Amino acid sequence: MKNFLKRLSEKTTEGFLMISGSITTLTVLLIVIFLFREGLGLFTTSPLENRNVIVVNKNNPIEHLTARQIKEIFDQQITNWKDVGGKNDTIILFTINDLSTYFSDEEIGENFEYLPEKLNTLVDSIPNLLAVYTDKYLVKDIKGKLVKVDKNNIPDFLLGKEWFPTAEPAVQLGVLPLILGTLLVSVFAILFALPIGIATSIYMAEVANEKVRKILKPIIELLAGIPSVVYGFFGLIVIVPLIHDVFNLPVGETALAGSIVLAIMALPTIITVSEDAIRNTPRSMKEASLALGANRWQTIHRVVLPYSMSGITAAAILGIGRAIGETMAVLMVTGNAAVMPHSLLQPVRTIPATIAAELGEAPQGGVHYKALFALGCILFILTLVINLWVEYISSKRKLNK
């Protein structure tokens, strides 16, 4: 009976662990599927928001336009139809805001009941007109011609340099500034944090006496529990004014400020994981090195660090993950300018900060909403690639040894 209860307890524990692992794996898988389903939906939709349509005269040879061309037309950078493949004629723009220019209140009706027919007549009467209005004002026997707008595509999305997800009538979804801003801030944060973090971990594990270590380790681990918004406040109050004064900049909210704040945030993780890995080096290996005539620093360099490299690599991966995925602190100190970054001393915007700042304002199911999920897909892939790259370097180093 006793053995039976013991086996039953073991089977129950195994079943519980299996169910817990299965549920966790399934949950993560479903989150990834949901993320990519929403994100990839962007490339099957038109960049026109709010159910807008573009209508031209039936004699106009233009059949389709890109979101970029529509933006340039409305920005008055393109003013002639020949610039988009049409006739040599000036483009006349019309939107619902121009109703009073062409019609009186009596003509469109108190509840806009006559507006669809009036719009139909207007497009038919002006050969060089480009009209933009919602599809609810279309009539069945339309006298004009609907212009097809090219759907969002991956090359334009990844290589575009303008991020205007609320532009009217066609959104501009170029994420290259956001990708470069994320990489710029994250890479320099790790470049700042890794040397300091590894040096500190070596000191704590191999140099500092036990009393100093017992004081430093809890303090460093406590830093990991500080909310990111607190780091953001620190950066906004201390680091941003310092950068502003030292470099004599118009504003201190720059990529450099974000890199420094992220470096400070990543330090506790890097130090803790690296220090644990270094301390796990067998004492016999260190004593053998010292017995062969190596001094303490040669032993650290030739024995301790190579042996603990896998742990240090794990620390680097965790630090990079913290830097790339951080939101609030970066949102507060980088200036949030979605422009192409050319140096550390200019404002930038990162992908996590963009998602956090804009998701609450994006209409669910709209182009803007799907674009933010597509940003999430890019962030997921970016983090996965970096992790695989670091693991590859680590495994290659082990093979060479």
Q: Which residue has the tokens 């680091």?
A: 239
pLDDT means over runs of 10, the chain (401 residues): 77 88 92 93 88 92 91 92 92 91 89 91 92 90 90 92 90 94 92 92 89 88 86 94 93 94 91 89 87 87 86 82 83 91 92 91 90 94 80 62 53
The neighbour count for residue 368, using CB atoms within 10 Å, is 20
Largest CA-CA distance found in the chain, in angstroms, rounded: 102
pLDDT score, position 224: 80
The number of CA neighbours under 13 Å toward the Cβ of 244 is 15
pLDDT per position as a tens digit, 293-303: 888 888 988 88
pLDDT score recorded for residue 157: 94
Q: What integer pLDDT is reported at residue 393 of this predicted model?
A: 64
What whole-number distance in Å separates Cα of residue 56 and Cα of residue 62?
8
* DSSP structure class, residue 363: P
Say whether the peptide bond before residue 169 is cis (omega within 30 degrees of 0).
Answer: yes
- 0.75 surpassed by pTM: yes
Mention every residue, 6+ apart, whose C-beta is less than 8 A from residue 206: 278, 296, 300, 304
Decide if 221 contacts 268 (C-beta within 8 A).
Answer: yes
